A and B are shown apart, each in its own frame.
Chain A
Amino acid sequence: MSDDISWYESFWTYLEFAWQDVLDLGVDHAVVVIISVLIATVTGVALGVLTYRTERPRELVLAVTGTFLTIPSLALFTLLIQLPLLGLGAKSVVVALVMYGLLPIVRNTIVGLREVDSAIVESAQGMGMGRAARLWRIEMPLAWPVVLTGIRVATLLLIGIAAIGAYINGPGLGELIFGASVGSAVALNEVLAGTLGVIVLAILFDFVYVVVTRLTTSKGIR
């Protein structure tokens, strides 16, 4: 790098000419994360609801989803692209992200539901609320702040891992981080832009969660 301009001047110049690309990649990144979080939420909450009251299945689900999280991401990506129907690209990334996102969501769903005061559930039962009504009208709303925290943690986790998806041609800011040829003049700028983009995205998502939490949590339990 030349000595006559500082690194941030160089970065600024780079952004001036590349901001449109960075923005597009940021949107792609967000879309991949949102799709993965949605799938992980539906699956994770369902698994939690199905297993929170029975010990064996509960332990099994937590063990399996916990194991997913311990697989190194590069290894998982490499394995997934071997599978038919997946291959290189977004599909494999989404599958991997869903697998990583499951544990926080399943875990918090189970914890949240199990923490609901049994006296409240019993009084609902005593008034003639059936199993489903009890779950959706009493237990879920009370567990919701905990469940939502799980989804929030999963989202932040996936924003980071999604960047690594570029390794198997996944979309998103990872392209900037992994795509640059090491040592080239723009490499530092691209890595910097990609990393900053990921951080900004994380902050934006977190802000959305603050708003969503406020809007979807009853005043009675805030």
Chain B
Amino acid sequence: MTDTQDAVAPDSGTAPDGGKVEIRLENLAKRFPGQDDPAVDDLTMEIPKGEIVILVGPSGCGKTTTMKMINRIIEPTSGRIFLDGEDVTDVNPDQLRRRIGYVIQQIGLFPHVSIANNIATVPKLLGWKKERISERVDELLEMVGMDPGQYRNRYPKELSGGQRQRVGVARAMSADPDVMLMDEPFGAIDPITRDRLQNEFLRLQEQIKKTIIFVTHDIDEAIKMGDRIAILREQSHIAQFDTPERILVNPADDFVADFIGRGASLKRLSLSRVRDVELHQWPTVEQGASHDEVNRLLEGSDKSAVLVLDSERRPVKWVNADHLRRAGDGRPLSELGLPAEAVVQPNATLSDTLNEMLSARYSTAIVVDSSNAYQGIVDIDTINETVRSLRRAEQGRLRGGDDEDEDR
């Protein structure tokens, strides 16, 4: 998926890796004055174009320091930084930073200027024309799900925490940077809003395909958000740098295994998404259909209920033979049966899906596309089967011993 990017490397003549690597850190180190041990010691790492790479590790291990060396808020003591093959270790830092989106945990919106002007900061520094800036601001607000007419002229204090976070992300993307640095961007928010923002962000990333370095100390967030995860120990020594699947199934050592912690097989559910499993089909009817039609459908199917859809194929109700019998003829289907709850989109994780089912007390979840039209069903058996196969893979690893290590 990384090959479809057509971003042009500004200095691709010097790119030894053919431009596929967006960021390369070479022997990067930082020693703060007056400290015996370096905060970051000899870090070498490649971040592929268009991927989210998560830096995760215990507090004080050097995640933030590593990230801030990339946009040179902290100047490295030694080592080099390459962006798209271009050595940016010594270029003008202000110029460099305008090419890199930056979101920090505290968000850091400017309280004295409007939301529009917050988002317009970098475009203004780059000298864009007024109309272009205002178009871009509206476009970005829409992209993060905020109505421009309503929010453009507000001040940060007039937004909720979640909205501020969205504006922070929009602001970081204002000049369409290829690279984004995000330091615990969803850290200061309640778990429910965080979950929503994470999902929204993943959906956004599917379209924008930025190269993102994302710092967190929460392994669950890392597994959910990351295309790759770098688990760091103190001084930013890489304990393991791999896909979430492989880290969960094949932790490099005890440090990694400890860090992943218990409940790893449930965590694996956050690795599989609805779109990765096979959907079941279910008998459906339009809400205008007659009761006879529903009865015929139920007789011809092994399912005990039908799913009623509205004219745009959005799920409305579950209706079974009992409901029909009790209601008597003529009542529209939309007034019968049980509400169609536990609805998920294809990019939901199986763990989210299981959650939805449990809270609706259904054994099925309805899968809809982005316009909420019915696509299929995931049931609890599918989820169980996924857990079992992940567990089998893990047991295979344990029996297989060390000979898989080469492919790390």
Other-chain contact of B125, A122, A127, A219 (Cβ < 8 Å): A127
- Residues in B whose Cβ lies below 8 Å from that of A133: 125
Q: How many Å from the CB of A113 to the closest CB on chain B?
A: 14
**A141 vs B114: C-alpha distance in the bound complex, in angstroms?**
13
**A77 vs B88: C-alpha distance in the bound complex, in angstroms?**
59
- Residues in B whose Cβ lies below 8 Å from that of A123: 102, 104, 107-110
- Residues in B whose Cβ lies below 8 Å from that of A141: 112
Cβ–Cβ contact B97 & A220, under 8 A:
no
Given A127-B98, A128-B97, A220-B157, answer yes or no on A120-B111 (Cβ-Cβ < 8 Å).
yes
Cβ–Cβ contact A122 & B113, under 8 A:
no
Cβ–Cβ contact B108 & A117, under 8 A:
yes
Check B73 for interface membership: any CB of A closer than 8 A. yes
Q: How many Å from the CB of A26 to the closest CB on chain B?
A: 36
Of chain A, the residue at the smallest CB distance from B121 is A127
- Residues in B whose Cβ lies below 8 Å from that of A142: 111-112
Report 12 cross-chain contacts, Cβ distance below 8 Å, ordered by A residue: A119-B108, A120-B109, A122-B73, A122-B104, A122-B108, A124-B121, A126-B181, A128-B95, A128-B122, A142-B111, A218-B111, A218-B112
- Residues in A whose Cβ lies below 8 Å from that of B112: 141-142, 218, 220-221
Q: How many Å from the CB of B35 to the closest CB on chain A?
A: 20
Check B335 for interface membership: any CB of A closer than 8 A. no
Check A72 for interface membership: any CB of B closer than 8 A. no
How would residues 128 to 153 of chain A score, 1 for a CB under 8 Å from any chain B CB and 0 otherwise? 11100100001001100000000000
**A138 vs B125: C-alpha distance in the bound complex, in angstroms?**
14
Q: How many Å from the CB of B115 to the closest CB on chain A?
A: 10
By Cβ-Cβ distance, the 7 closest A-B pairs, closest first, are A123-B108, A220-B155, A126-B102, A218-B112, A119-B106, A128-B97, A128-B98
Q: Which of B110, B114, B121, B156 has the most CB of A within 10 A?
A: B110
Given A142-B111, A220-B111, answer yes or no on A129-B121 (Cβ-Cβ < 8 Å).
yes
Cβ–Cβ contact A220 & B156, under 8 A:
yes
Given A220-B155, A220-B157, answer yes or no on A126-B73 (Cβ-Cβ < 8 Å).
yes
Q: How many Å from the CB of B154 to the closest CB on chain A?
A: 9
A-B contact count (CB 8 A): 72
Check A125 for interface membership: any CB of B closer than 8 A. yes
Check B89 for interface membership: any CB of A closer than 8 A. no
Q: How many Å from the CB of A81 to the closest CB on chain B?
A: 45
Q: How many Å from the CB of A49 to the closest CB on chain B?
A: 18
Other-chain contact of A129, B94, B109, B114, B157 (Cβ < 8 Å): B94
Cβ–Cβ contact B155 & A127, under 8 A:
no
Cβ–Cβ contact A125 & B155, under 8 A:
no
Q: How many Å from the CB of B175 to the closest CB on chain A?
A: 9
Given A117-B108, A122-B73, A128-B95, answer yes or no on A220-B122 (Cβ-Cβ < 8 Å).
no
Check B43 for interface membership: any CB of A closer than 8 A. no
Check B96 for interface membership: any CB of A closer than 8 A. yes
Cβ–Cβ contact B110 & A120, under 8 A:
yes
Within 8 A of B (CB), among A194-222: 218-221
Check B71 for interface membership: any CB of A closer than 8 A. yes
Of chain B, the residue at the smallest CB distance from A218 is B112
- Residues in B whose Cβ lies below 8 Å from that of A120: 108-111
**A138 vs B121: C-alpha distance in the bound complex, in angstroms?**
11
Cβ–Cβ contact A126 & B94, under 8 A:
no
**A120 vs B157: C-alpha distance in the bound complex, in angstroms?**
14
Q: How many Å from the CB of B164 to the closest CB on chain A?
A: 12
Q: How many Å from the CB of B357 to the closest CB on chain A?
A: 40
- Residues in A whose Cβ lies below 8 Å from that of B110: 120, 123-124, 138, 220
- Residues in B whose Cβ lies below 8 Å from that of A126: 71, 73, 97, 100, 102, 104, 181
Cβ–Cβ contact B155 & A219, under 8 A:
yes
Cβ–Cβ contact A128 & B96, under 8 A:
yes
Other-chain contact of A127, B105, B114, B122, B156 (Cβ < 8 Å): B122
Q: How many Å from the CB of B22 to the closest CB on chain A?
A: 18
| A127-B98, A220-B110 known, 18 other contacts, Cβ within 8 Å | A117-B106, A117-B108, A119-B105, A119-B107, A119-B108, A120-B108, A123-B107, A124-B121, A127-B97, A127-B125, A128-B122, A129-B94, A218-B113, A218-B155, A220-B111, A220-B156, A221-B111, A221-B112
- Residues in A whose Cβ lies below 8 Å from that of B125: 127-129, 133
- Residues in B whose Cβ lies below 8 Å from that of A128: 93-98, 122, 125
Q: How many Å from the CB of B161 to the closest CB on chain A?
A: 14
Within 8 A of B (CB), among A41-64: none
Of chain A, the residue at the smallest CB distance from B105 is A119
**A22 vs B111: C-alpha distance in the bound complex, in angstroms?**
46
**A117 vs B95: C-alpha distance in the bound complex, in angstroms?**
24
Within 8 A of A (CB), among B152-178: 155-157, 171
